[in-house]
Structure 1
Amino acid sequence: MRSLPTGYRALILGASGAIGGAMVALLRADPSCGEVRTLGRGSTPQVDFNAPSSVAQAAQALRHLAPWHLVVVATGMLQGPTGAPEKCLGDLRPEHLAASFAVNTIGPALALAHFAPLLTRGERSMFAVLSAKVGSIGDNRLGGWYSYRASKAALNMVMKTAAIELARTHPQAVVAALHPGTVDSALSAPFRGAQIGRPAADAARDLLALLDGLAPEDTGGFWAYDGQRLPW
């Protein structure tokens, strides 16, 4: 991360996932990185987006380690105990909609609320989340996947809105929603992820390089791993 100062400090939420774990490995291999901390359901402190209070508690527990130069929320839910991606309106279930928004929208929004104030001021910083191209309303041509699409579209709005607010207090900060592409991971595995996806390490490298090249005037954008700006 050449755009960050020597000794920069990074925080990854969701490091147990394929992309989050790959990001951690790359950052720890960067000689310019001073520290990488990880948060998730198995960490101390623990963060579980199904337990919203854990986000505030974790931020409070790590407050003494601030400021952070890079915060990435590398989480996401496509299917689980509440169901799989919907193919049609008849498949919609309130419990799956609620679960999707809890993990894909509400959790990252709370992470923004509690960790963005811990970003460094007066120098460059970044706050990024893993979104998805299927969360683009303008690019939706196939339909289906209601819960996942809607929760990621809502996440994009949260990021755009937060970017406007943070620009007032952190003028050198970059807030970004990122599309990693199809990656060979637990999330994509049921959907031919191993056949059509690429290694998580490649996706993580592309995303970190993308962030490294974004300027403060790019804050609030929705970006694909290859640098393409995606429509809302």
Structure 2
Amino acid sequence: MHSLPEGYRALVIGASGAIGSALLQQLQNDPRCELAQGVSRQSSPGLDLLNEASIAACSQALAAQGPFHLVLDATGALTVNGRGPEKRLDELDATHLLASLQLNAVGPGLLLKHFAPLLASGERLIWGKLSARVGSIEDNRKGGWYGYRAAKAALNMLLQTAAIEIARRRPLAVVAALQPGTVQSALSRPFVGDDALHPEQAAQRLLAALDALQPTGRAHFVDHQGQSIPW
């Protein structure tokens, strides 16, 4: 990460997943990175995305390791409680819709609430969040996947709104919603072929894309090659 200050400090949330662990490994191998910390449900301190008290406690436990110049939120799930994305309207279920929103939008929003205060001030910093191209309202050409699309669209709005607020005190901040591409992972395994990206490839591309983004006072929505995606 050449755009961040020498000795930058990084945090990966959701570091036990395929992409999260690959991102953490890349940062730990960067000689310019002074600290690369990963947190997940299995880490110490642990973090439960569905429990705000857990999120608050984790942020308090990590405060002494900050301030952070880079926070990467790699949380999220396509299959929730054993149920995959809906393909048709008649498959909609209120409980499943709410569960997807809770995990893919509400939880990440609460991460912003509790971890944004740990961001550095007066220096370039980056908050990157794994989103999905299917969260783009304009780019929706195939339909289906109702709950996941809706949750990612809600997530994107939360990121955009948070980016505006964060920029008021940290004008050098970059906030980005990231499309990692089709990646070999437990999340995508039932839905992708053998041509999917290896997590290490995706992580390298995502970090390069973030490195090139400039602070604008608003959020970016980009893919793993740095190309803009319509909101």
Interval of TM-score (by shorter of Structure 1 and Structure 2): over 0.9
Distance 2:223 2:151 in 1: 18
Structure 1 counterpart of 2:195, which letter? I
- Percent identity, aligned pairs only? 53
Alpha-carbon distance, 1:94 to partner: 1.4
- The TM-score, its normalising length taken from structure 1, stands at 0.97
Could you say which residue in structure 2 is the equivalent of 1:203?
202
What displacement does 1:192 show? 2.4
TM-aligned CA deviation for residue 43 of structure 1 = 0.9
In the alignment, what sits opposite 2:145?
Answer: 145
CA distance in 1, matches of 2:217, 2:181: 20
Spell out the pairing of 1:1-232 with structure 2 (5 A cutoff).
1-81=1-81, 83-193=83-193, 195-217=194-216, 219-232=218-231
Residue type of the alignment partner of 1:160: Q
Q: Distance in 2 between matches of 1:156 and 1:184?
A: 23
For structure 1, the 5+ residue unaligned runs are: none
Give the count of matched residue pairs. Answer: 231
Q: Tell me whether 77-86 or 165-174 shows the greater mean CA deviation.
A: 77-86
Task: Tell whether the 8 Å contact from 2:128 to 2:177 is kept in structure 1 after alignment.
Answer: yes
- Tell me the SS of whatever aligns to 1:174: strand
Q: Deviations over 1:34-55 (max 9, x none)?
A: 0111111001111111222211
Farther-moved stretch of structure 1 (162-171 vs 92-101): 92-101
CA distance in 2, matches of 1:166, 1:80: 31
Change (3 A) 1:16 1:120: same
CA distance in 2, matches of 1:2, 1:14: 23
Q: 2 CA distance for matches of 1:12 and 1:185?
A: 17
Equivalent residue of 1:196, what SS?
coil
Structure 1 distance, partners of 2:60, 2:86, is: 37
Q: CA offset at residue 60 of structure 1?
A: 1.1
CA deviations 1:41-76 (Å, max 9, x no partner) are: 001111111222211111111112220000010011
Instruction: Give the match's secondary structure for 2:216.
Output: helix
> Please, which moves more after superposition, 133-142 or 63-72?
63-72
* TM-score relative to the length of structure 2: 0.97
Kindly provide the amino acid, as one letter, of the partner of residue 199 in structure 1: H
RMSD: 1.1
8 Å CA contact 1:82, 1:96 repeated in 2: no
The change in CA–CA distance for 1:18 and 1:82 in structure 2 (over 3 A counts) is closer
Take 2:220 and 2:160, find their aligned partners in 1: how far apart are those partners?
7
Counterpart amino acid of 2:163?
A
Within 2, Cα distance between the matches of 1:119 and 1:212? 17
CA contact (8 A) 1:124 1:172 kept: yes
8 Å CA contact 2:182–2:192 kept in 1: the answer is no
CA contact (8 A) 1:180 1:203 kept: yes
Name the amino acid aligned to 2:20: G
Question: Shift of residue 218 of structure 1?
Answer: 6.9
